[in-house]
Amino acid sequence: MTATAADSGADMTDIQRYLILGTVTLATLLFAMTTTNSYVVLPQMQGSLSATQDQIAWTVTFNLMATAVMTPMSGWLSNRFGRRAVMLFCVAGFSAASVLSGTATTLESLIAFRVAQGVLGAPIVPVSQAIILSTFPRSRHGFATAIWGLGVVCGPVLGPTLGGFVAEEYTWRWVFFMTTPVCVLSVFLVWVFIHDAHRNLGTRLDWTGFLALSIAIAAFQLVMDRGDRLDWLESPEIIIESCIAAFGLYVFVIHTLTTSHPFLPPRLLLDRNFSLGLCFVLIFGAISFVPMILIPPLLQDLREVPDSIVGIVLASRGIGSIVGNIVVAVIGSRIDPRLGLTIGFSTQALSGLCMAQFDLNVTIWNAMWASAFQGFGMSFLWVPLTVLTFATLNPRQMGEATAVFHLIRNLGSAIFISICVGAFVHYSGVNYAVMSEHISPFNEVFQFPGVVGAWSIEGLGNLSRLGDEVGRQAAMVGYINAFYLFSAVAAAVIPFIYLLKRPVQGD
């Protein structure tokens, strides 16, 4: 950010500053709500669109992938077209994509509209933050950022809660429609109160690097999402997509190393803290959304919990985050940031272990407690991770470094959701095959009614009920294994935290 940008709010009154702050906070709240409220209706969408669980997860992973690719472009778009134009176009386009998502009649169209949401919504958060920093004087950046952060924190609380009640009363489509009034208000406020701080028409974008990276990420995401279903390299489609991903990555790497103005500057990796920080933010992104993807179908399909209650369960994660943020605000500046990371990742590992103890009789309270505990732990990760990653970088590199940071975070989320959903599908299938082997007339257990109780293999009706129960048990094992994987990944990075250099006081 240039000095002009930084000082652009000097001639504003406090009322003007707070109106701008309220406008961008509402836009951020809209983005956070719409991103998370769809998680509660994944099972409804799955049934309505005749999709499998791994297929409906594509609506999340491709949304995150599109967000990841477009986030680094936010700075170039702002410089080229101006922040006001970018915010107007993105908020309006994001709102339109949300409405279109609610009208989707096929899985393919829903994925396309969700990708559009990701592409158009990606610049909202970074541009909003840039507007705040250029509107308020440096001495008030902390206060303004904290108020703006309420949109990020409250969105995951309001979205699933309202979405659950709306979906239960109407259908999943209204989860996307319900934000329309907020969308209209947000567009109006941006039009009235946001003004350009500066434009730099000379800013260039490395289109070769951008397109090569986009192609590589898209192809790799297809491999991760469809690999288990198509038996990986036994499928010609997976082989072709893998080759495209490898070629895109090759072009991106070679071009990045040979051009004078690359899309993502490799010199940033020479900083140890930043390089290690990217590894940690990859894991941070990986563990951010997995419970929100797995818990709704677990409760709805295996426990027949209504949408409204599932929304409250997901909202408890946001409540845990709010409590955690308060604790971090009180003690955060007094402790070593590396200790904060240790607490955060340890909490994630423990919450994963708690979820892995779920069974078919899991209570709503247990699900809420585990979700809130996971949200609480996430609050200990963001601030120290940001502080440590950028602690030793030159301030002139912050813009480029921030773009890489958010790109890696979103990629981690998309990839690990695919891995965990794939693990669930795989282990569910394996365990169903193993368990169903024992449903046979040759199993002598069925000769003893006192042992098998009401279960019987006589007649199609009895076999159908028994098959359904085996399917439920196998699915529960799949969820448990996915939660163990989540816990293991969170715990695996803890020993490496103290390789990060602690920031020097006063830097």
Q: Which amino acid is at 314?
A: L
Dist CA 406 CA 71 (whole Å): 7
With 50 as the cut, is the pLDDT of residue 6 above it? no
Domain count across the chain: 3
Same domain, 182 and 246: no
Q: Which amino acid is at 207?
A: W
Same domain, 140 and 276: no
List the domain range (segments joined by +) for residue 300. 268-507
Give me the sign of the Cα torsion angle 20, 21, 24, 27: negative
For 53-112, the pLDDT digits (tens) are 888 888 988 888 888 888 888 878 888 888 889 999 999 999 999 999 999 999 999 999
For 229-247, the pLDDT digits (tens) are 788 888 899 999 999 999 9
Dist CA 218 CA 231 (whole Å): 19
Residue at a domain's end among 223, 241, 262: 262
Residues 6+ apart with CB under 8 A from 308: 164, 165, 167, 168
Q: How many other β-carbons are positioned within 10 Å of the β-carbon of residue 353?
A: 17
Same domain, 184 and 326: no
CA atoms within 13 A on the CB side of 304: 1
Residue at a domain's end among 203, 224, 254: 203
For 37-46, the pLDDT digits (tens) are 788 888 899 8
- How far lies 182's CA from each of 30, 121, 314, in Å? 7, 15, 21
Name the maximum alpha-carbon separation found in the chain: 87
Same domain, 334 and 466: yes
Please name which of 313, 322, 291 lies closest in space to residue 417, comparing C-alpha atoms. Answer: 291
For 360, phi then psi, to 5°, come to -70, -10
Cβ–Cβ under 8 Å, residues 58 and 118: no
Same domain, 336 and 424: yes
The CATH number of whichever domain residue 135 belongs to comes to: 1.20.1250.20
Percentage of the chain exceeding pLDDT 70:
92
354-370: average pLDDT: 94
Task: Specify the DSSP element, H or E, that contains 144.
Answer: helix 141-169
Ordered DSSP codes for 316-360: HHHHHHHHHHHHHHHHGGGS-HHHHHHHHHHHHHHHHHHHHT--T
Residue 86 token pair: 């970018």
Residue at a domain's end among 217, 247, 262: 262
Same domain, 290 and 257: no
Same domain, 258 and 160: no
CA 296 distance to own-chain centroid: 15
Same domain, 60 and 96: yes
With 60 as the cut, is the pLDDT of residue 506 above it? no
Residue 505 token pair: 């006081």
For 295-336, the pLDDT digits (tens) are 999 999 899 899 889 989 988 988 888 888 788 877 766 788
Same domain, 132 and 192: yes
Please name which of 366, 258, 251, 346 lies closest in space to residue 303, comparing C-alpha atoms. Answer: 366
Please name which of 424, 290, 293, 406 lies closest in space to residue 348, comparing C-alpha atoms. Answer: 290
Same domain, 447 and 308: yes
Same domain, 48 and 101: yes
pLDDT of residue 202: 59
Same domain, 183 and 50: yes
Please name which of 201, 195, 200 lies closest in space to residue 24, comparing C-alpha atoms. Answer: 195
For 175-185, the pLDDT digits (tens) are 999 988 988 99
Residues 6+ apart with CB under 8 A from 289: 39, 60, 64, 413, 417
Residue 467 token pair: 């098959």
Print burial letters for 412-426: b (CB count within 10 Å at least 16), e (below 16).
bbbbbbbbbbbbbbb
Cβ–Cβ under 8 Å, residues 414 and 293: no
